Amino acid sequence: MLTIWGRASSVNVQKVLWAADELGLAYERIDVGGPYGGNDTAEYRALNPNGVVPTLRDSAGPDGRPLTIWESHAILRYLAAAYSPTGHDASGDGLWPRDLAMRADADRWMDWVHTSLHEPARTLFWGLIRDPAGTTPAAMQKAEADAATLWTRLEAWFARDDRPFIAGSRLTIGDIPLGCQVQRWLSFPLQRPALPRLEAWHKRLTARPGYRAHVMVKMV
């Protein structure tokens, strides 16, 4: 049994919920963080010393013992590696590419979300949705320009060999963090460059039930 701690509006929690749905996994979700609080309690800190969301607990881990994991991308890698053989992909790979080149593509773009895209995406989210009064016009202008530059890099990646997904011909864990962020980017009330391949990829994601259920939701 999987337990996922975190509010459904958190983009990092959305990654895990979408992945779990893609893999056909049953789970219990417990509201923690934001308006629900609970992330500063001793009980929660014992699970996740950082006091953030998401946190995952697999009551029957890979060796039959309970396993607790925090950090959204670590959780994605664990779920994909542990449960992809039961996924829906006809190859049996599910979200976890057995091909090492595909896996490297998925991994590097996942990490790119944190190392490159996170800061402008966070600034835009707070400035447009969460706390407009707390973000300066200069910071917003820079974040908008930086985000446009970064998304243009992903557009070029898709153009290299006209690939439909991040790592190639099918959805992998590489699509999940970026897919959560692109939904926000395309929903923000701002000017965006024309990125037809990026938009086509987003449209493919919107056909997936887990994406519609967990990612295409109101931003708060």
Residue-level pLDDT at 62? 80
User: What mean pLDDT is predicted for residues 81-90?
Assistant: 65
| Mean pLDDT score of the chain | 94
Residue-level pLDDT at 87? 44
CATH code at 2-86 = 3.40.30.10
> Residue 133: pLDDT above 80?
yes
User: What mean pLDDT is predicted for residues 85-109?
Assistant: 79
- Is residue 97 packed enough to be buried (19+ CB in 10 Å), middle (13-18) or exposed (0-12)? buried
pLDDT digits (tens, 9 = 90+) for 63-76: 889 999 999 999 99
> Residue 119: pLDDT above 90?
yes
Residue-level pLDDT at 219? 95
Angle at CA of residue 150, ends 169 and 11, nearest 5°: 75
The pLDDT-based confidence of 108 (bands split at 50, 70, 90) is: very high
User: What mean pLDDT is predicted for residues 170-195?
Assistant: 97
> Residue 169: pLDDT above 70?
yes
Residue 199's CB is within 10 A of a number of other CB atoms, namely 14
The pLDDT-based confidence of 90 (bands split at 50, 70, 90) is: very low
Residues of the chain with CATH 1.20.1050.10: 100-214
> Residue 88: pLDDT above 80?
no
pLDDT digits (tens, 9 = 90+) for 35-59: 999 999 999 999 999 999 999 999 9
CATH code at 100-214 = 1.20.1050.10
Residues of the chain with CATH 3.40.30.10: 2-86
> Residue 93: pLDDT above 90?
no
- Helical packing angle, 175-187 and 11-22, nearest 10°: 130
